[in-house]
Structure 1
Amino acid sequence: MQFKYLVIGGGIAGVSCVEGLAFLHPDASIGLITPSGIVKAVTKAVPVTKLLSDITVEETDADKLEGMCRVIVDNVTAIDPRVNSVLTESGREIKYSKLCLCTGASPRKIWYSPHVITIRDTDSVETLQDKLKTVKKIVVIGNGGIATELVHELSGVDIVWVVKDKHISATFLDPGAAEFLQETVLKKTESTPETMFKRMRYNTEGSAGPSLGPDWHSNVSLHGVARDTHIVIEYACEVERIVDAEETDTSCNVYVKLTNGKTLACDIVVSAIGVVPNSNILVRGPPFELATDSGISVNEFLQTNVSHVFAAGDVCTPRWEIAAHWFQMRLWTQARHMGSYAAKCMVGAVKNEPVLQDFAFEMFTHMTRFFGFKVILLGLFNAQTLGNDYEVLLRVTRGVEYIKLILKDGKMQGAVLIGDTDIEEMCENLILNQLDLTDIADDLLNPNIDIEDYFD
């Protein structure tokens, strides 16, 4: 087989890249190699601001992409850039003019045990559901988005949440925002706002996708066999050791020893401690240049150091001089942007046309939901790269909203918006425009003033 464009990976980055290629160069031959017959695609993107969208992700049969590309369900064993070919497990040799690697990332595993479940994809969630039918006590390890959502969704089980930081959800939230949400997770009271899903939901049976996505828990029952739900959080510690219980021990299945000296007895352990890029791809010739986080290094056009080979999504790490208010986090939103932008760069290289970098790389934006609250993160939302030289404006209404604005030299640098604040568009514009807010900073969060009137 031979293709003008070949994409490896059936996740969001790979499918977005294929969709972009089919749109930009409809007459070209496009191939997609995916290890599974199931792929993930963004089926709906509702614009919230200029750069931020509320996306819907659907797991679907890879065959549904056949109108745009030729789908090859196989595993790649090696790349031979000397002859522009990819070798697969089934013995195929597939030629390409331009190749894009969208192989994603794999979850970090802390211990190998039948009682330790690493949460990352649909299969692992189904395994957890099955185990919960007999579980009374669970240890959750991790402090990112999946661990946070998991603790909120679990019920009928005693939970010990082990976080390496001094506050929950440290990947996304500062201590103040964590405290705002923590009241909800620890109380689990009737006043907890119900999650309002504006996205469509999809049922998929027996499918194994590359990774979990937005609203992964919306159709999943995570209920144990205990009558009540109790949550204990162990802060500033990590797992030192996990030991399976003896067969004669009927009190639990596994023991978890923590670095703070405590030993926890539980039925299962759920691990959600981040990912490692799937960059260990065999290259016949000089290998890929890797960044310190093991991602494949790419330039401003998502090109690798290997000729005619691009990379996008979780597998890559940018080595260009990034914009002041953007940084990489291995999130679905960025995988989608990178996949689409990679298509633009590949077509530009084939047609010898200039390519302007996508505006999505100007500013970090992310929208998610924690504990039933809408969470929007903009720019340097945790004052990343600012050191200690910045100012914080804060407005908190317990159980309703949490607003934090980051200012430096009178200009907005980032924002954390929890709840229905309706100021995300204004904040995005102020970060992008770098308007001097010195004279109106005191009124920015005054609830009695419609601040948008200042900018009409």
Structure 2
Amino acid sequence: MAAFVIVGGGLAAAKAAEALREEGFDGEIVLVGREPHLPYERPPLSKGYLQGSDERDKIFVHDADWYREHDVDVRTGVSVTAVDPAAHEVTLSGGERLRYDKLLLATGAQPRRLTVPGHERVLYLRTVDDSDRLRGTFSTARKVAIIGAGWIGLETAAAARAAGAEVTVIEQGQQPLLSALGPEIGAVFADLHREHGVDLRLGARLAEITETGVRLADGTAIDADAVLAGIGAVPDTELAAAAGLTIDNGVKVGADLRTSDPDIYAAGDVANAHHPRLGHHVRVEHWANALNQPPVAARAMLGRPAAYDEPPYFYTDQYDLGMEYLGHVPPGTPHDVVIRGDLSGREFLAFWLRDDRVIAAMNVNIWDQGDHLKALVLAQTPVDRAALADPKVPLEKLVRS
């Protein structure tokens, strides 16, 4: 009987097991996760679960009964310490060796760590245990300092404000989310957080974490009962690198999510996958990849034609702002941004254009245009900028086949 091993305890791992059964695989599936919990989704950890509006049971991809009913051997609280491609075996933290015919790496990413003096006092958010710890911290802390104004930094700032804490966000860029969204849209998020009482320190460099808060490079001291860092993440490639797989901003895989070893695949945050539509490799640390890549990996592991070509997607919820973003703007790509709607009122659509083609689109507090935004991104045909900005022109009329 064929044996497939899945390494990881998140959404990608659970969805891979589900997809394999749905595709008719009746062999052995072993899912190995280092955390003591069943596989769960991470977005709620910085959103609803952190704020107490999502119940704990809701974060889990499947309950224990599902794994039993689908004959999936889940090993929680167990780490894979080594992969031996030649022997087709993985070694577990207790010393057991598991044979595999196909192996899927869904090891995710780890928070990027601060290295300034006092960094050992800093909190991070990646796991459900981290989120539980932060919930407790936010409920008692009077003042919270957050390093980084990216997605995690801003979402946790919103949660801390909802809990009643005074919040200071320290960001070395000139706007929040600058690398992801650019200065114009970044300013929207800056205004949003300032309106909700966040002390946003832009263009600020961190020098030290002190016993009473943080000290900036210009000597400014900021009092804080707790300090959280949200400065990005790095793909967890340690196992893959030790196994001799090709590493390039994650585990490098083809459109079918196959690594440089024909019997090893990778999906989710750790996978830097060749994207057929974009023509280059892309690694996206967001929920949609963890949800949608595993069925592709499952089909490929079963020897069937498969390619992952969905446009990158992510979303955020902060205070009364909900946003979805679709597409990809590679760093350094010349582009223009076209706005449709009320930017200051935070109810608008935004389009990133290169050569008059929509390469990414975003909806903010507008929820009936998602299909049209996706069609524009996928069409890759020139659009009229004036019509794109005009709310009176239906978006479907701008999509050319």
Q: Which category of TM-score, normalised to the shorter sequence, fits these structures?
A: 0.7 to 0.9
More helix by share: 2
Counterpart position of 1:177 = 185
Conserved in 1, the CA contact under 8 Å of 2:173 and 2:203?
yes
The percent identity for this pair of structures is 22
* RMSD (Å), alpha carbons: 2.9
Deviation at 1:15, TM superposition (A): 0.8
Quick one: distance in 1 between partners of 2:103 and 2:87?
Answer: 12
Counterpart position of 1:277 = 235
Aligned pair in 2 of structure 1 residues 394, 272: CA closer, same or farther (>3 Å)? Answer: same
Q: State which of 336, 343, 347 in structure 1 corresponds to 2:291.
A: 336
Conserved in 2, the CA contact under 8 Å of 1:169 and 1:178?
yes
Q: Which amino acid aligns with 2:372?
A: M
Q: Does 1:77 align with 2:84?
A: no
Counterpart position of 2:312 = 364
Written as runs of structure 1 = structure 2, the 5 A alignment for 1:157-196 is 157-170=165-178, 172-188=180-196
Conserved in 2, the CA contact under 8 Å of 1:80 and 1:86?
yes
> Which protein has the larger Cα radius of gyration, Structure 1 or Structure 2?
1
Counterpart position of 2:209 = 242
Quick one: distance in 2 between partners of 1:315 and 1:162?
Answer: 28
Counterpart position of 1:95 = 99
SS at match of 1:281: helix
Counterpart position of 1:444 = 388
Post-superposition CA distance 1:277-325 (Å, at most 9, x none) = 22112888x622221x3x2222232222234111111222235776159
Written as runs of structure 1 = structure 2, the 5 A alignment for 1:373-384 is 373-380=321-328, 383-384=329-330
Quick one: distance in 1 between partners of 2:280 and 2:28?
Answer: 37
TM-score by length of 1: 0.74
Give the paired residue count.
378
Q: Does 1:109 align with 2:53?
A: no
SS at match of 2:101: strand
Counterpart position of 2:261 = 306
Quick one: distance in 2 between partners of 1:263 and 1:58?
Answer: 40
Deviation at 1:3, TM superposition (A): 4.8
Aligned pair in 2 of structure 1 residues 297, 435: CA closer, same or farther (>3 Å)? Answer: closer
Post-superposition CA distance 1:253-288 (Å, at most 9, x none) = x3422234423232110111221222112888x622
Deviation at 1:444, TM superposition (A): 2.7
Quick one: distance in 2 between partners of 1:451 and 1:60?
Answer: 38
Written as runs of structure 1 = structure 2, the 5 A alignment for 1:36-435 is 36-40=35-39, 57-58=59-60, 61-62=63-64, 64-68=66-70, 69-73=72-76, 74-110=78-114, 115-155=121-161, 156-170=164-178, 172-188=180-196, 230-244=197-211, 254-281=212-239, 287-291=244-248, 293=249, 295-318=250-273, 323=278, 327-348=282-303, 353=304, 355-360=305-310, 363-380=311-328, 383-384=329-330, 387-388=333-334, 390=336, 392-420=338-366, 422-435=368-381
Q: Hey, which bits of structure 1, 4+ residues long, moved more than 6 A?
A: none
Quick one: distance in 1 between partners of 2:240 and 2:382?
Answer: 51
Quick one: distance in 2 between partners of 1:331 and 1:442?
Answer: 32
SS at match of 2:18: helix
SS at match of 1:66: helix
Which ranges in structure 1 are unaligned for 5 or more consecutive residues?
43-55, 189-229, 245-253
Counterpart position of 1:19 = 18
Q: Which amino acid aligns with 2:167?
A: I
Post-superposition CA distance 1:417-440 (Å, at most 9, x none) = 2111532322221221233323xx
Aligned pair in 2 of structure 1 residues 83, 265: CA closer, same or farther (>3 Å)? Answer: same
Which ranges in structure 2 are unaligned for 5 or more consecutive residues?
42-57
Counterpart position of 1:35 = 34
Aligned pair in 2 of structure 1 residues 105, 436: CA closer, same or farther (>3 Å)? Answer: closer
Conserved in 2, the CA contact under 8 Å of 1:120 and 1:272?
no
Quick one: distance in 1 between partners of 2:241 and 2:338?
Answer: 48
Q: Which amino acid aligns with 2:314?
A: H
TM-score by length of 2: 0.84
SS at match of 1:306: coil
SS at match of 2:396: helix
Aligned pair in 2 of structure 1 residues 389, 377: CA closer, same or farther (>3 Å)? Answer: closer
Q: Which amino acid aligns with 1:157?
A: A
Quick one: distance in 2 between partners of 1:425 and 1:67?
Answer: 36
Deviation at 1:128, TM superposition (A): 2.1
Deviation at 1:122, TM superposition (A): 1.6
Deviation at 1:95, TM superposition (A): 0.8
SS at match of 2:100: strand
Post-superposition CA distance 1:85-114 (Å, at most 9, x none) = 111122212111111111111112215666
Post-superposition CA distance 1:333-371 (Å, at most 9, x none) = 1122222211111011xxxx4x131331xx222233233
Deviation at 1:405, TM superposition (A): 1.8
SS at match of 2:60: strand
Q: Which amino acid aligns with 1:378?
A: L
Post-superposition CA distance 1:171-218 (Å, at most 9, x none) = 543322232233332122xxxxxxxxxxxxxxxxxxxxxxxxxxxxxx
Q: Which amino acid aligns with 2:13?
A: G
SS at match of 1:345: helix
Quick one: distance in 2 between partners of 1:122 and 1:416?
Answer: 28
SS at match of 1:241: strand
Quick one: distance in 2 between partners of 1:181 and 1:133?
Answer: 24
Conserved in 1, the CA contact under 8 Å of 2:170 and 2:201?
yes
Q: Which amino acid aligns with 2:323?
A: V
Quick one: distance in 1 between partners of 2:172 and 2:325?
Answer: 22
Conserved in 2, the CA contact under 8 Å of 1:38 and 1:62?
no
